[in-house]
Copies of this chain bind each other. A is one copy, B any other.
Amino acid sequence: MSAYDDLMAFQRETEALGQVAGRLGWDQETMMPEGAAPQRAEEHAAMANVLHARRIDPRIGDWLDTAKASTDVAKANLRHIRRSYERTAKVPAELAAEIAKTTSLAHRIWAKARGDEDVAAYLPILSKVVALRQEEADALAQGGDRYDALLDDYEPGATGTEIAAMFSALRPRLVALRAAVLDKPKPQGLSGTFDEAPQLALSTKLALAFGYDLDKGRIDKAVHPFSSGSGIDVRITTRTNPADPFNCFYSTIHEVGHAAYEQNIDEAYLLTPLGNGVSMGVHESQSRIYENQIGRSRAFTGWLYGQMRDAFGDFGIANEDAFYACVNSVNDGFIRTEADEMQYNLHVLMRFDLERALVSGDLAVGDLEAAWNDRFQADFGYAVDKPSNGILQDVHWSEGLMGYFPTYTLGNVYAGCLNEAMTAAVPDLQSDLARGDTSAATSWLRENVQTHGGLYEPKEVITRAIGKAPSEAPLLDYLEAKFSDIYKL
């Protein structure tokens, strides 16, 4: 065997073990008996140790020194393995251990502080997390930009400067659109209660309508919806709320977007570095275009209206147009995860600016709450009422995930670009969607994005799919057109 073959065989086993560790997480959220938590913590730690030992195995360095890649696929495989290996090598083991220990503690302190509305209890450990991530960023950046070094874990190749430029173009138009929409009368809401069994039945029907393959996946309930796994075992979860079936349906469609990306990667890449979605941003572009540009379109909601009438009878919405407005209702609210597709980005933009300033050192942790509240007031027009609706609402920073937030809106930007190209390429798209048929849309996404897995760099995937460099313009145009139509602006 060649060095390349040896390396790939080793890597394949690592990928398989990574899938096992991931499925352990799935089990914990869906199946694990409550009393098993202490044992499970040790099982997770043992798997993490096995995976860490493999990732720093010095044989990888030796193989990389001599492996020869003659195809694009082989080159991409080596690129992924090299990036991961060099990333691990740059961070001292003691620092990595300290970060793991501190973020684990910080997560628990954050959860309690959020329950207690006690910012002061949280800031000391957050300061420590920020300092450790700064130290890690310095080790990774080797003189380059700190924030970019962290961002690279979630969106390889992206830079804070580039994202800041994009987000600066988004912000004023989104703030103006939001203000204009909220000045108009509210659409009618749903009335009645919605039983769990028909919610779950329609949720499954929606998953299948979006091409989710139950032969390579399954749907269970969990407190927080998620997608888990790669290749031919990609599972999703959903949840139900008797007053709000949209929560179930659009969670399902969102997770199907993530899961379909994993299921539709070229099967030749199974259990190789190319066999996973290439970045958080591209992943989110798939979940968002499934959920929003397709799932919340006038055409598709027209079909969904009929499905919901069949399942639930009269729920107080008179016709498809009123239903479309109801699905796309824009309301005041403090919580990012509950926001509509327009305001969601404003929540992300402020977190990006704040965390970038934290990481650079321009913003002290002690000034974070005031900065958060000022920015929220500026963009949303009303004041944060309590910390759990403000600085304490998200889990990310306690877990050290600085650099993660911008990928949400980057995903929306990419979804906007892909939607523009897909609409041009699929002529009968709207009439298909009006029949609940997403196959032309999802096939276009599969062939132009999903199938490639990790073959190209994230931005290159989008550039190839749309035939030009991605920009925020299509997303803005789409949002302005959609909400102007619904709200008669």
Contacts and interface: CB of A to CB of B under 8 A. Distances in A.
A46 B17 contact: yes
A208 to B, nearest CB: 14
Interface stretch (A35-43, A129-137, A469-477): A35-43
Contacts of A43: 16-17, 19-20
A50 to B, nearest CB: 6
A266 to B, nearest CB: 15
Interface in A177-227: 213-218
Contacts of A50: 17, 50
Given A16-B42, A46-B13, A31 B218 contact: yes
Contacts of A17: 43, 46-47, 50
A410 interface: no
Given A232-B35, A233-B36, A46 B215 contact: no
A218 B32 CA distance: 8
A27 interface: yes
Interface in A32-59: 32-36, 38-40, 42-43, 45-47, 49-50
A270 B39 contact: yes
Of the listed residues A17, A216, A233, A270, the one surrounded by the most CB atoms of chain B closer than 10 A to its CB is A233
Contact of A35 (B40, B42, B213): B213
Contacts of A38: 232
A171 interface: no
Per assembly, the copies of the chain total 2
A270 B42 CA distance: 11
A277 interface: no
Contacts of A436: none
A24 interface: yes
A120 B216 CA distance: 37
Nearest to A53: B50
A78 to B, nearest CB: 21
A45 B17 CA distance: 10
A231 to B, nearest CB: 5
A214 B46 contact: no
Given A20-B47, A27-B23, A34 B215 contact: yes
A24 B20 CA distance: 8
A150 interface: no
A12 interface: yes
Contacts of A23: 24, 27
B233 A39 contact: yes
A185 to B, nearest CB: 46
Given A20-B24, A23-B24, A216 B46 contact: no
Given A20-B24, A47-B20, A50-B17, A216 B35 contact: yes
A46 B21 CA distance: 12
Contacts of A39: 16, 19, 231-233, 270-271
Contacts of A49: 13
A8 to B, nearest CB: 13
Contact of A46 (B20, B42, B235): B20
Contacts of A34: 215
Interface string A5-16: 000000011001
A364 to B, nearest CB: 40
A403 to B, nearest CB: 30
A347 to B, nearest CB: 35
A46 B16 contact: yes
B214 A12 contact: no
A14 to B, nearest CB: 8
A332 to B, nearest CB: 41
B16 A215 contact: no
A438 to B, nearest CB: 21
Of the listed residues A35, A40, A49, A217, the one surrounded by the most CB atoms of chain B closer than 10 A to its CB is A35
17 contacts: A13-B45, A13-B46, A17-B46, A17-B50, A20-B24, A20-B47, A23-B24, A27-B27, A32-B233, A33-B216, A33-B218, A35-B213, A35-B215, A39-B232, A39-B270, A40-B233, A42-B271
| Minimum-distance CB pairs A-B, first 5 | A36-B233, A35-B215, A16-B46, A35-B216, A13-B46
